[in-house]
A and B are shown apart, each in its own frame.
Chain A
């Protein structure tokens, strides 16, 4: 039977829900930072064919992209303790989602670095810049900006994937909402989940698109 929404629910449960939301943001922020670093370094290794690192990055990308992220989470949380590596739910939360985002971001950055016109890099070399200096002054600023549209999609997917740590009971928004549902048998937690995630994802993509337009490389338009 349809249940009428009871707004007094919120006055009772806003506090745990708010904390769940904060933990979702915390895990997302760490994972996005991780995805950025892995993506930039791995993407550079792939694009500039740095021996060994490039091959390792390629294998890493394929393994992560061709296996379900939920199993990666289970593997880290339930599988690794067999090797004596016991991780807390919080560590598994940011680590799994960060590793996942990093793999997708390597491909985004690789494409971005390869799209930087070779003439610009050659000009920097001609001016006497070292390889590292060329990367930090030419490759990274331009490549990261070119890859921004696809990286943004990865970051948004990272935020959405943090909901999966419900499977290992890390107390982020989804877990908190489902626990409240289990205790109260009410549907309001799902309404909260839907509204919060949609608001978060839509506003994040709106803001990031603004950033993207602001940072767009003029000639690439």
Chain B
């Protein structure tokens, strides 16, 4: 099948898949992991009636949810190095950090809702069995809350995968960024490129790739929503 395509397609696709897709998946994996690891404790702490922690976490959640993600990423990339010694992130790391700040805020808010949706009797029953606050949440409340959290987490994963493209704006070599580079290369005159703009084909192909990743995940989220809630 590849033989039917023009000869510029193979090296272009090879670069976009090996460099771009790999970086996109790495960023998405790092960001969703960080979002869950930070977001679930933060969200659980939001349900605790102690105003200083609540105010701090509330501020964290509202700031990173309120800022446009691209602004967060630009801030991490351009402002971060001025204030954190030794922090000179590559574009895809800066974008992954921005995605994690945004994602963890989303997870915290969803976790708060899920924890609060667990009936009060579950807390009381666990307390009656002698569990402290930590044991009660680790063994009784959070396992039940996680079931309700699963559909929004899959939806968030779709959001994170799609928003990895924002790294292209600061020069990251993920799917959109590698596509951009290949379009620029092909736009150059031979022998480097073709002297033709192939933006329609390359961006179109990358959009199809994103569709093939995102569509099944959105179906999965809808299925989990029906099954688990």
As a 0/1 sequence over residues 66 to 77 of chain A, the CB contacts with chain B under 8 angstroms (1 = contact) are: 111111101100
Q: Which residues of A contact B214 (CB under 8 A)?
A: 65-67
B197 and A66 within 8 A (CB): no
As a 0/1 sequence over residues 38 to 75 of chain B, the CB contacts with chain A under 8 angstroms (1 = contact) are: 00000000000000000000000011001111110011
Instruction: Judge if A60 is at the interface, Cβ distance under 8 Å.
Output: no
Q: Which residues of A contact B204 (CB under 8 A)?
A: 75, 79
How far, in whole Å, are A197 and B166 apart by their CA atoms in the complex? 18
B210 and A67 within 8 A (CB): yes
Instruction: Judge if B169 is at the interface, Cβ distance under 8 Å.
Output: yes
> Chain B interface residue count: which class?
35 or more
Instruction: Judge if A128 is at the interface, Cβ distance under 8 Å.
Output: no
- The binding surface of chain A is classed by DSSP as helix
Number of A-B pairs, beta carbon distance below 8 Å? 114
Q: Which residues of B contact A68 (CB under 8 A)?
A: 162-165, 176, 207, 210
Instruction: Judge if B78 is at the interface, Cβ distance under 8 Å.
Output: yes
As a 0/1 sequence over residues 182 to 213 of chain A, the CB contacts with chain B under 8 angstroms (1 = contact) are: 00000100100110011001100000000000
Of the candidates A78, A181, A201, the one whose C-beta lies within 8 Å of that of B66 is: A201
Of the candidates A62, A69, A174, the one whose C-beta lies within 8 Å of that of B71 is: A174
A163 and B68 within 8 A (CB): yes
Max chain B Cβ within 10 angstroms of own Cβ: one of A1, A81, A164, A187 = A164
The interface size of chain A toward B, counting residues with CB under 8 Å, comes to: 39
Q: Which residues of B contact A160 (CB under 8 A)?
A: 67-69
Instruction: Judge if A52 is at the interface, Cβ distance under 8 Å.
Output: no
Cβ-closest chain B residue relative to A181: B78
- Interface set, chain B 53-109, CB cutoff 8 A to A: 62-63, 66-71, 74-75, 78-79, 82-83
Instruction: Judge if B139 is at the interface, Cβ distance under 8 Å.
Output: no
How far, in whole Å, are A145 and B156 apart by their CA atoms in the complex? 27
Given A2-B82, A67-B162, A79-B200: A163 in contact with B71 (beta carbons within 8 A)? yes
Beyond contacts A66-B211, A193-B74, A194-B67: 16 other A-B pairs, Cβ-Cβ < 8 A, are: A63-B211, A66-B158, A66-B210, A67-B210, A68-B162, A71-B207, A75-B203, A75-B204, A75-B207, A79-B204, A82-B200, A174-B68, A190-B78, A193-B75, A201-B67, A202-B62
Question: Could you list which residues of chain A lie within 8 angstroms of chain B, going by C-beta atoms?
Answer: 1-3, 62-63, 65-72, 74-75, 78-83, 160-164, 166-167, 174, 178, 181, 187, 190, 193-194, 197-198, 201-202
